[in-house]
Amino acid sequence: MTQGRALIVGASHAGVQLTASLRQEGWSGEVIMIGDEPALPYQRPPLSKAYLADKSSLAELAIRKAEFYGKHDIRVVRGAVARLDRAAQRVKLSDGTTMDYDALALCTGGRARSLPVPGVDLAGVFYLRTFTDVESIRASAAPGRCAVIVGGGYIGLETAASLRALGLEVTVLEAADRVLERVTAPAVSAFYERVHRDAGVVIRTGALVEAMVGDDRVREVVLSGGERVSADLVIVGVGLVPNTELAVESGLDVEDGIVIDDLARTSDPRIVAAGDCAVHRMPRYDRLVRLESVPSAGEQAKTAAATLCGKERPIAALPWFWSDQYDLKLQIAGLNTGYDELVLSGDPSRDRDFTCYYLRQGRLLAADCVNRPRDFVKAKQVISRGLDIDRGQLCASDAL
């Protein structure tokens, strides 16, 4: 039985996985993936890491080699989908062409959140979401120049480490009281502040940016209170806005992302969604969660492909994430929201490897593992399976 045309909007981690999984699940009809970026789909995480630090090429970042798409009869179309007509099962591209579909997947990801302050449009102010953003940053990033990073989240801190490696003077401005405030425990934030300071990065917390000023390009960042920080370039890393416009305009349920169920179906069961654009009520957490992570995009895409092929493979994997800064590999298992107890294995105020365990009512909820891959693997198993833990044992370096 032929299955007609599957159309995937968005050609990145979720979209590419979805095309591959459709073929694995036996989709026999056409598979077309439409993406609006001017390159073969590439891995995004290295953008703030190896690619920014000039240690890898764009070709090395390809999610799949060009031959993959030919071999599996996957058509990759460059273009932007501007409209979705659900009743007609048709999309319209910004160049006016239309395409009908039998099955549709929205994998539109997100874009960098803009900073609403005067001067943000000056030359020399950048965001970091695409490889073209990185190429613009690198063109300005000569050794000895002053880079100011607005936002002390993972992307901001990775960018700081990469720009230090390129020989720039780096200042991180974070509005909250500590870096990574939204996502980690105070001890983990303090650890990252220490290692960045040791590497020569100036970390300013409680620093609220009010404006950027300059002439032909940015020269200073102005903080509330009037203080000015010199800048040859500014990188803004203050979060992501999910690309939900197609879903909103076509009347799909959207919260902080396109709402999907356990089978990655949107409120229109003929349309699936996956990745950074999607928000999922995770039974494990009993709330809507929008994850911004490659493993999660892949997991949702696999489920979405199975669904389109008439199979039931609910999204089940534990969320996980990683971040690379200097010689430090942070691996995070689970989400720590709602923790009521912390257990540290190792001393983050001194060591360069430790694990921070997050517990709720005595059960392991999440773990931040710095240079502790074994702790990460074990924590993932314990949390996924809901196993009991011996809290007394957690402090040991080979804890679980």
| Footprint on residues 224-243 left by ligand FAD (CB under 6 A) | 243
110 binds ligand FAD (CB under 6 A): yes
Please state, in angstroms and rounded to a whole number, the distance separating the CA atoms of residues 357 and 369.
8
124 binds ligand FAD (CB under 6 A): no
Sign of CA dihedral 260, 263, 267, 271: positive
Please state, in angstroms and rounded to a whole number, the distance separating the CA atoms of residues 244 and 256.
9
37 binds ligand FAD (CB under 6 A): yes
Q: What letter does residue 398 receive in the DSSP assignment?
A: T
366 binds ligand FAD (CB under 6 A): no
| Footprint on residues 139-158 left by ligand FAD (CB under 6 A) | 155
Looking at the Cβ atoms of 76 and 146, the one nearer to ligand FAD is: 76
Applying CB under 6 A, the site for ligand FAD has a residue count of 36
Query: In the set 297, 304, 335, 400, which binds ligand FAD (CB under 6 A)?
Result: 297
Query: In the set 307, 323, 325, 345, which binds ligand FAD (CB under 6 A)?
Result: 323
Query: In the set 19, 21, 89, 108, which binds ligand FAD (CB under 6 A)?
Result: 108
313 binds ligand FAD (CB under 6 A): no
Q: Contacts for 202-205 with beta carbons within 8 Å, 24 or more apart?
A: 202/169, 202/170, 202/171, 202/172, 203/152, 203/171, 203/172, 203/174, 203/179, 204/171, 204/172, 204/173, 204/174, 204/229, 205/152, 205/174, 205/176, 205/177, 205/178, 205/179
Looking at the Cβ atoms of 321 and 357, the one nearer to ligand FAD is: 321
Query: In the set 156, 275, 319, 334, which binds ligand FAD (CB under 6 A)?
Result: 275
Please state, in angstroms and rounded to a whole number, the distance separating the CA atoms of residues 237 and 48.
11
299 binds ligand FAD (CB under 6 A): no
Q: What letter does residue 45 receive in the DSSP assignment?
A: G
Q: Following DSSP, what letter does each residue of 183-245 receive, concatenated?
A: TS-HHHHHHHHHHHHHTT-EEESS--EEEEEESSBEEEEEETTS-EEE-SEEEE---EEE--H
Q: Which helix (H) or strand (E) holds 155?
A: helix 154-165
Query: In the set 69, 192, 321, 339, which binds ligand FAD (CB under 6 A)?
Result: 321
334 binds ligand FAD (CB under 6 A): no
Q: Which stretch binds ligand FAD (CB under 6 A): 169-177, 184-192, 257-265, 317-325?
A: 317-325
Q: What letter does residue 62 receive in the DSSP assignment?
A: B
Query: In the set 220, 276, 299, 368, which binds ligand FAD (CB under 6 A)?
Result: 276
Shortest distance (Å) from residue 129 CB to ligand FAD: 5
322 binds ligand FAD (CB under 6 A): yes
Please state, in angstroms and rounded to a whole number, the distance separating the CA atoms of residues 101 and 310.
16
Residues lying near ligand FAD in the complex (CB under 6 A) = 9-15, 34-37, 44-45, 47-48, 80-81, 107-110, 128-129, 155, 243, 246, 275-276, 292-295, 297, 321-323
